[in-house]
Structure 1
Amino acid sequence: MQDELVFYTNPMSRGRIVRWMLEELGQPYRTEVVAFGPEMKAAGYLAINPMGKVPAIRHGDTVVTEAAAICAYLADAFPQAGLAPPAGDRLRGAYYRWLFFGAGPLEAASVNKALGVEVPPERKGMVGYGSMEDVVGTLDAALSSANHLVGDRFTAADLYVGAQLGWLMQFGVMEKRPAFERFVASLSARPAAVRARGIDDALLPPKA
């Protein structure tokens, strides 16, 4: 029997990235919605993720947390979906680069900006991302010259970075550069992305 794939999420979280990834796979999965607050910090869920946060997946006996790691794991667990360069392909280098760029410099710089944390110029060398300007410039250069981050086709690296960019621009954390808007618009129109948004939107609590 195929190992069951269980997805732990909340529609108001980074779980939306993983939902999109799961829809791209086209594999059956079961969703467990975990409420923020006591439920997410309860012993039952802490056994899945001791950090007490979502998203997480359980694939048979394997548990994976952290959105970028989940995307990387799923791409390799279901290679037929074609969401990662095959093992041994030299494009794996670029693939890992951009996945970790999204999970590292892009995430850290954006969170600091959103919180109003400014790194003094003389301390720039102490932070992994350097400055927000460095992060934006690096990503802009990559997306201004290509439609995808890895080779000439869509991968989980595009999905992860594109999902972050869309969210950051929506909330004004990232400036809306033409290359970013073009990239996000193209990815957002993918059928799996549309399905994922519909599923998660339906799980949102009703507006007061």
Structure 2
Amino acid sequence: MITLYHSPNSRSTRIVALLKDLDALDTVGIEVVTIPRMDGTGARDPRNPHPDGKVPLLDQDGVLVWESSAIVQHLAELFPDAGLSVPAGDPRRGAYLSWLAWYAGVVEPVLTLQALGIDHPGLSRTFRTADHVKARLAAALADRPYLLGEHYTAADLLLHSPYAWFGKPGLPAIDAWVDRCTDRPGARFAAEFDAAHGG
């Protein structure tokens, strides 16, 4: 049995979208839980086994997978027929894994610090800047519709998500990519699911 612990309009919304794009909604159950929100609302849900009370969390037969990049990779590989992962041996595998890790190690902290208005030379030297993130993405998308070429992968789902949340950056290559990603069945389903479950 596989369960996704999800709170509407949170980082786990992109995992709901992924489940739809993987055609995995009949296999993975979604347990809606509460979480403490940045605005002070919400609360930790005792039903949520995440050690920090956060989402997303995936429970597969008692084995917990946490952090979006790990969950995205795990699910995309668990449902390979959808074609959203890049298998071992494929020459695109290195770039695929790098994009997933870059999201967790660079994009998430950089864009979160920017949203909070926190800036320091040590942070930008360590994690780079929001402008650097945009430049890297724009360069990757300059001559292709998706990060790895002609086909959408789970890396696109993960990497576009902060711009779907915070707003597009105003760079044509990135804005068009975000539009393509948010026009997918998974993104539309996740928005409808959240609206129906209190989001």
Taking structure 2 as the reference length, what is the TM-score of the superposition? 0.88
Cα pair 1:119 1:131 within 8 Å, conserved: no
Cα pair 1:68 1:100 within 8 Å, conserved: yes
CA distance in 1 between partners of 2:51 and 2:86 (Å): 31
CA distance in 2 between partners of 1:87 and 1:178 (Å): 32
Does the residue aligned with 1:141 lie in a helix, a strand or coil? helix
Paired positions, count? 192
Unaligned runs of 5+ in 1: none
User: Which amino acid is the alignment partner of residue 31 of structure 1?
Assistant: I
Instruction: Quote the offset at 1:147 in angstroms.
Output: 0.6
Instruction: Quote the offset at 1:64 in angstroms.
Output: 0.8
Counterpart position of 1:30: 29
CA deviation string 1:181-204 (max 9, x = no partner): 100111111122212211112112
CA distance in 2 between partners of 1:65 and 1:124 (Å): 25
Does the residue aligned with 1:8 lie in a helix, a strand or coil? strand
Decide whether aligned partners of structure 1 residues 191 and 125 sit closer, same or farther in structure 2, where only a CA change above 3 A counts. Answer: closer
Counterpart position of 1:12: 9
Give 4+ residue runs of structure 1 displaced > 6 Å after superposition. Answer: none
Does the residue aligned with 2:59 lie in a helix, a strand or coil? strand
The answer on 1:145 being equivalent to 2:139 is no
Cα pair 1:91 1:151 within 8 Å, conserved: no
CA distance in 2 between partners of 1:61 and 1:184 (Å): 35
CA distance in 2 between partners of 1:115 and 1:152 (Å): 35
CA distance in 1 between partners of 2:146 and 2:120 (Å): 31
User: Which amino acid is the alignment partner of residue 34 of structure 1?
Assistant: V
The one of 130, 133, 136 aligned to 1:135: 133
Counterpart position of 2:72: 71
Matches within 5 A, 1:33-182: 33-37=32-36, 40=44, 42=46, 44-45=47-48, 48-120=49-121, 123=122, 126-127=125-126, 129-169=127-167, 175-182=169-176
The answer on 1:188 being equivalent to 2:182 is yes
Taking structure 1 as the reference length, what is the TM-score of the superposition? 0.85
Higher relative contact order (CA 8 A, sep 6+): 2
Cα pair 1:124 1:130 within 8 Å, conserved: yes
- Name which one, 1 or 2, has greater alpha-carbon Rg: 1
Aligned-residue identity in percent: 33
Instruction: Quote the offset at 1:50 in angstroms.
Output: 0.6
Does the residue aligned with 1:11 lie in a helix, a strand or coil? coil
CA distance in 2 between partners of 1:124 and 1:53 (Å): 25
CA deviation string 1:25-62 (max 9, x = no partner): 112121111112485253x42xx211110111112232
